[in-house]
Amino acid sequence: VAPPQAMEVRVKILFTSLCHTDVYFWEAKGQTPMFPRIFGHEAGGIVESVGEGVTELAPGDHVLPVFTGECKECPHCKSAESNMCDLLRINTDRGVMIGDGKSRFSIDGKPIYHFVGTSTFSEYTVMHVGCVAKINPEAPLDKVCVLSCGISTGLGASINVAKPPKGSTVAIFGLGAVGLAAAEGARIAGASRIIGVDLNASRFEEARKFGCTEFVNPKDHTKPVQQVLAEMTNGGVDRSVECTGNVNAMIQAFECVHDGWGVAVLVGVPHKDAEFKTHPMNFLNERTLKGTFFGNFKPRTDLPNVVEMYMRKELEVEKFITHSVPFSEINKAFDLMAKGEGIRCIIRMEN
């Protein structure tokens, strides 16, 4: 692992976890398969060295790598409303560093490619400084590492974008890690009813720990889910958060919100050719549809505050972590995810 160049840092990864995105690209379902490549993007570590021009990070700092960045200079970074940095937003096709177009990983002189600028399935990795969030050194990295991707995405979709008022009703579509984090966000915001919607009923009991109060399995109903939810909630839910990426679920999530004030938020990433169809009257009747990327959190500015939510015990992270394996057994983490077992598996770099 080569030294960091200008505006880069080399990080010693202590804990990483497996997210569906890693599996998706490992299976070569992503846009441009690249090989060989080091996956991994949800992690926690310590800065080992810094390249030229890096002033806000120093060796020894505790950090979370992030698959998207914040340069702090572009119009998106300067906008209070966006986190979609022009320079460093997620790029799944790029396997090299942005500065010189080269990889920092090699074996026998041949390059190994990077993944979403993080490549955390490695004891050391090199990242652009804008993709590294400096956090409270007191925070346990084996817990808060899961905040660098999926958990923050779901949490932010609820608290930053859907913003359910106290006492409101929220529907969560998809009860995987991101959906459970969205439910947790709705719970933190003070929603009184949180309805989990999932085709897998075995997820329902676990979801109660994250604030879900009731459940709908579309397979149990002959009516469309949006109609079932409207009947349960006297006309529709106040907020919905869609975390599956399935276009039908997206339509259901939008059409199930109450007219006049309902807000639906899309989080799940659809198939590249997918299209969304709904009647324009759904908008004219004052329903709002929003999308979100990484829960609208700016990585460097906002992630340290999410870690502080955990430190203040406002956000529970432990319940998302269901398994732990040493790095030598990383394939077990892939097996667990393939079987749909657990929520997050922590991979310990040092046994």
Number of Cα atoms under 13 Å in the Cβ half of residue 254: 23
State the Cα–Cα distance between residues 189 and 195, nearest whole angstrom: 15
Other C-beta atoms lying within 10 Å of the C-beta of residue 230: 19
Q: Which listed residue (8, 37, 68, 77) is catalytic?
A: 77
**In order of start, what are the domains of the chain with their CATH numbers?**
8-146+317-348 (3.90.180.10), 154-293 (3.40.50.720)
> Does the active-site annotation cover 149?
yes
> Does the active-site annotation cover 279?
no
Nearest CA among 211, 219, 181 for reference residue 195: 211
- Does the bond joining 326 to the residue before it have cis omega, within 30 degrees of 0? no
3-state SS of the chain is CCCCCCCEEEEEEEEEECCHHHHHHHCCCCCCCCCCECCCCEEEEEEEEECCCCCCCCCCCEEEECCCCCCCCCHHHHCCCCCCCCCCCCCCCCCCCCCCCCCCEEECCEEEECCCCCCCCCCEEEEEHHHEEECCCCCCHHHHHHHHCHHHHHHHHHHHHHCCCCCCEEEEECCCHHHHHHHHHHHHHCCCEEEEECCCHHHHHHHHHHCCCEEECHHHCCCCHHHHHHHHCCCCECEEEECCCCHHHHHHHHHCECCCCCEEEECCCCCCCCCCCCCCHHHHCCCEEEECCHHHCCHHHHHHHHHHHHHCCCCCCHHHEEEEEEHHHHHHHHHHHHHCCCCEEEEECCC
pLDDT of 4? 98
> Does the active-site annotation cover 187?
no
Q: Which listed residue (48, 68, 128, 149) is catalytic?
A: 149
Q: Which listed residue (42, 70, 242, 255) is catalytic?
A: 42
Q: Which listed residue (16, 21, 125, 233) is catalytic?
A: 21
Which residue shows structure tokens 């004219």? 284
Q: Which listed residue (10, 16, 19, 292) is catalytic?
A: 19
> Does the active-site annotation cover 19?
yes
Pairing type for strands 288-291 and 263-266 reads parallel
Question: What tokens were used for 40?
Answer: 């991994």
Q: Which listed residue (37, 41, 193, 258) is catalytic?
A: 41
Nearest CA among 172, 263, 168 for reference residue 215: 172
> Does the active-site annotation cover 21?
yes
State the Cα–Cα distance between residues 164 and 270, nearest whole angstrom: 24
Nearest CA among 180, 214, 217, 187 for reference residue 322: 180
Strand partners, 292: none
Q: Which listed residue (74, 213, 323, 348) is catalytic?
A: 74
Q: Under a CB-based contact definition with an 8 Å cutoff, are residues 307 and 144 in contact?
A: yes
Q: Which listed residue (71, 131, 145, 345) is catalytic?
A: 71
Q: Which listed residue (128, 258, 287, 344) is catalytic?
A: 344
pLDDT of 58? 98
Residues in the chain: 351
> Does the active-site annotation cover 74?
yes
> Does the active-site annotation cover 77?
yes
pLDDT of 30? 66
Question: What tokens were used for 147?
Answer: 């905040």
Q: Which listed residue (62, 76, 89, 193) is catalytic?
A: 89
Task: Please give the single-letter amino acid code of residue 178.
Answer: V
> Does the active-site annotation cover 231?
no
> Does the active-site annotation cover 344?
yes
> Does the active-site annotation cover 16?
no
pTM for this predicted structure:
0.96
pLDDT of 105? 98
- pLDDT of the chain along its 351 residues, tens only? 999 999 999 999 999 999 988 988 888 876 677 899 999 999 999 999 999 999 999 999 999 999 999 999 999 999 999 999 999 999 999 999 999 999 999 999 999 999 999 999 999 999 999 999 999 999 999 999 999 999 999 999 999 999 999 999 999 999 999 999 999 999 999 999 999 999 999 999 999 999 999 999 999 999 999 999 999 999 999 999 999 999 999 999 999 999 999 999 999 988 888 999 999 999 999 999 999 999 999 999 999 999 999 999 999 999 999 999 999 999 999 999 988 888 999 999 986
> Does the active-site annotation cover 221?
no
